[in-house]
Amino acid sequence: MALLPICTYPDPVLRQKTEYVKTIDDEIRRLIDDMAETLYNAPGIGLAANQVGRSLRLLIIDLQLEEDNPGLLVLINPELVDGRGEMVHEEGCLSLPDFWANVKRHEEVIVRAQDREGKEIEFQAQGLLSIALQHEIDHLDGKLFIDRIGPVALDIFKRKWKKKHKEAKE
């Protein structure tokens, strides 16, 4: 296994819609293992393949500190089938370091995907898992959570990012 570099805003790979995974082979499974190691090392609760520079429709989630955590969830070619209700929760992202903001999402979602063996799965999720799924599926569609925050929060993000970028150059 290997740690992969995480692409951060404004890397254009984060804005491209990812491609469907046609064949789930050893190369894809190796990518999943490397993504898992990268996720645990970061640490984060979710990672989409395009966050490590691979424009493929593949994501992993591990809520880690949550109770009743089922462990690493691997979703290949995931789709949001349905969403119900509304909830607002503070989100962060490994591709937007040191920034958090409230985001409005569905309270409950139904997701269809393939697992790491290629088997079709469909399930319902609520709460933090529902949020993580919507956040990561957004990544696969080239969206970031800053696309879903209000103009005031977006302005704060832009100023913070500019300041940090300037400091990094100095």
Closer by beta carbon to Zn ion, 24 or else 56: 56
Segment interacting with Zn ion (CB under 5 A) among 27-35, 62-70, 92-100, 150-158: 92-100
Cβ 90 to Zn ion, closest distance in Å?
13
The minimum distance between CB 89 and Zn ion, in angstroms, equals 13
Collapsing DSSP to helix, strand or coil, 88 comes out as strand
How does DSSP assign 111-140, residue by residue? Answer: EEEE-TT--EEEEEEEHHHHHHHHHHHHHH
Contact pick of 56, 58, 63, 93 for Zn ion (by CB under 5 A): 93
R_g of the chain, CA atoms, integer Å: 16
State the CB neighbour count (10 A cutoff) for residue 56. 19
In the complex with Zn ion, the residue whose CB is nearer, 31 or 47, is 47
Would you tell me which residues interact with Zn ion (CB under 5 A)? 93
Catalytic residues: 136
